[in-house]
């Protein structure tokens, strides 16, 4: 299904549930780089008062049915990290409950993203330069070893009490 066929279906989907505020298509389909194995990447913003795991599951199922494929990845934007939310709003808007909600949400995402960007760049630079990850991994392994030894001692003590 092409994007022109997708939009009316998604608009009907959004209009049918008052909790759906915005729906974006992002990823390879939105950017025109889709291949044979591409899936539908959709970002959905829900009214926070109506957001629940059950509603998310139901809406995801509805999108799978509407699109006629299980190759659908839904990102619920209410809890998306800044970098992902920013990538989503760079895609194609398929549905908006109202213009004010979209403008407010996109301004919020851009503000969070640009506030976060210096930290993200520093983190990426550290990764590219190698950083001191070896020392962190070693500390993690040592802590894991201590935890495993403590658990072993606890199990041994419990076995002595039971035996």
Residues 118 and 138 in one domain: no
**pLDDT in the model for residue 158:** 83
Residues 115 and 136 in one domain: no
CA 16 to chain centroid, in Å, comes to: 23
| 152/82 Cα distance (integer angstroms) | 41
Confidence class of residue 155 from pLDDT cuts 50, 70 and 90?
confident
**pLDDT in the model for residue 133:** 66
Range of the domain at 46: 3-123
Lowest mean pLDDT among 44-48, 77-81, 156-160: 156-160
Residues 101 and 143 in one domain: no
Count the domains in the chain. 2
Which residues, 6 or more positions from 45, have their beta carbon under 8 angstroms from its beta carbon?
Answer: 20, 21, 22, 23, 76, 77, 78, 101, 105
What is the side-by-side order of every strand in the sheet holding 20-26? 72-76, 40-46, 20-26, 92-96
Residues 116 and 48 in one domain: yes
The string of DSSP codes covering 85-103 is HHHHHTSEEEEES-HHHHH
| 81/102 Cα distance (integer angstroms) | 18
CATH at 36: 3.30.460.10
pTM for the whole thing? 0.74
Candidates 108, 70, 62, 73; CA nearest to 89 is 108
**pLDDT in the model for residue 131:** 61
Give pLDDT tens digits for 60-72. Answer: 999 999 999 999 9
Residues 54 and 22 in one domain: yes
Residues 43 and 105 in one domain: yes
| 68/90 Cα distance (integer angstroms) | 25
Residues 65 and 139 in one domain: no
Residues 43 and 117 in one domain: yes
Residue percentage of the chain with pLDDT more than 90: 62
Residues 54 and 77 in one domain: yes
Residues 137 and 88 in one domain: no
Residues 42 and 66 in one domain: yes
Residues 86 and 140 in one domain: no
Q: Which H or E run includes 41? A: strand 40-46
**pLDDT in the model for residue 142:** 85
**pLDDT in the model for residue 76:** 98
Give pLDDT tens digits for 93-112. Answer: 999 999 999 999 999 999 99
Q: Is the pLDDT of residue 139 over 70?
A: yes
């Amino acid at each position: 299904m092409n994007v022109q066929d997708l939009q009316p279906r998604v608009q009907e989907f959004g209009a049918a549930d008052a909790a759906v505020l915005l729906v974006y298509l992002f990823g390879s389909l939105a950017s025109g780089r889709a291949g044979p194995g591409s899936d539908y990447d959709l970002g959905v913003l829900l009214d926070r008062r109506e957001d629940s795991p059950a509603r998310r599951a139901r809406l995801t199922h509805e999108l799978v049915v509407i699109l006629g494929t299980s190759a659908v990845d839904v990102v619920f934007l209410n809890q998306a990290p800044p970098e992902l939310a920013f990538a989503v709003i760079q895609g194609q808007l398929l549905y908006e409950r109202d213009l004010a909600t979209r403008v407010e949400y996109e301004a919020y995402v851009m503000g969070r993203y640009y506030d976060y960007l210096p930290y993200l760049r520093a983190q990426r630079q550290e990764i590219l330069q190698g950083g001191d990850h070896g020392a962190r991994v070693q500390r993690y392994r040592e802590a894991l070893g201590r935890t495993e030894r403590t658990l072993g001692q606890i199990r041994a003590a419990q076995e002595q009490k039971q035996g």
